Amino acid sequence: MAFWRNLSTLLLPLLLLVGKTMSATVFTLQNSCNYTVWPGTLSGDGGALLGNGGFPLPPGTSVQLTAQPGWSGRFWARTGCNFDDSGNGHCTTGDCGGLKCTGGGAPPVTLAEFTIGSGNNQQDFYDVSLVDGYNEGMGVKPSGGTGSCQYAGCVDDLNTNCPAELQVTESGAVVACKSACDAFNSPEYCCTGAHSTPQTCSPTRYSQLFKSACPTAYSYAYDDASSTCTCNGSDYLITFCPTGS
């Protein structure tokens, strides 16, 4: 009996550790804007679709979505949406073909991207990306994890300082800011062709504008060094309009 008591005492911390490392990840999506946003979700590699792909999120409210180990995908805000009772309709920014997204958000759109650890690799990778442009401020804050676990996001309102050639307007107001790739579709901005490697695709004045405003966000395709974040065993708070604008 003493042997089994001693064995259980030794195994209990290990069992608790295994239970923790293999537990699900909770994403809390919080709307700090003063208007409704319609978050869109997209899962990669056949992973479970979170939140049925999309839903309305009124100002001042939040919702929790749970992902299993190994999940990868992205979240974004849609704005200016109109849907009927069947979920048919469209959005001014971040549109994905209906209330429940079946694909990614149409650029320009701010993205929060995640790959959750699994198996022997428990490290999560995450970022906030402006590679597809900007439509809404977004912040990602880890909670309860270990490691570097940096805050990632774009807090500034880039629409207010968006160059004229990148602006998307609706009723005279700037509602989104295109990436230079989306605006000009040329290799030096899209990191394609002769510019398809980190050595041949450098920051441009447009990506530097994004980076200056949002230092912890991806500003162009090869902006990995200062923009990819890692954490172990964390939950994540994703805030739209993190400044409350």
pLDDT at position 47 is: 86
Report the pLDDT averaged over residues 203-210. Answer: 96
pLDDT at position 14 is: 37
The number of residues making up the chain comes to 245
- Predicted confidence (pLDDT) at residue 231 exceeds the cutoff of 70: yes
pLDDT in tens, 109-147: 999 999 999 877 689 999 999 999 999 999 999 999 999
Q: The whole model's pTM is what?
A: 0.88
Position 132: which residue type? D
| Domain layout of the chain by residue ranges | 24-240
- Predicted confidence (pLDDT) at residue 177 exceeds the cutoff of 60: yes
- Predicted confidence (pLDDT) at residue 202 exceeds the cutoff of 70: yes
> Which stretch of 19-23, 34-38, 188-192 has the lowest confidence by average pLDDT?
19-23
| Confidence class for position 23, pLDDT limits 50, 70, 90 | confident
Average pLDDT score, the chain = 90
- Predicted confidence (pLDDT) at residue 7 exceeds the cutoff of 50: no
pLDDT in tens, 74-106: 999 999 999 999 999 999 999 999 999 989 999
46/109: higher pLDDT: 109
**Sign (positive/negative) of CA torsion 84, 89, 92, 94?**
positive
The percent of residues in the chain predicted with pLDDT above 70, rounded, is 89
pLDDT at position 225 is: 82
Contact (Cβ atoms closer than 8 angstroms) between residue 126 and residue 229 = yes
| Confidence class for position 244, pLDDT limits 50, 70, 90 | low
If one looks up domain 24-240 in CATH, what number appears? 2.60.110.10
4/83: higher pLDDT: 83
The secondary structure of the chain as a DSSP string is -HHHHHHHHHHHHHHHHHHHHTSPEEEEEEE-SSS-B--EEEESTTPPPGGGGB--B-TT-EEEEEE-TT-EEEEE--BS-EE-TTS-EE-SBS--SSSS-SSPPPSS--EEEEE--BTTB-EEEEEEE-TT-BSS-EEEEEES-BS----EEE-S-GGGG--GGGEEEETTEEEEE--HHHHH--HHHHT-GGG-STTT----HHHHHHHHH-TTSB-STT--TTT-EEEES-EEEEEESTT--
pLDDT at position 22 is: 61
pLDDT at position 95 is: 98
Report the pLDDT averaged over residues 229-240. Answer: 97
* Torsion, CA 34, CA 134, CA 112, CA 96, rounded to 10: 90
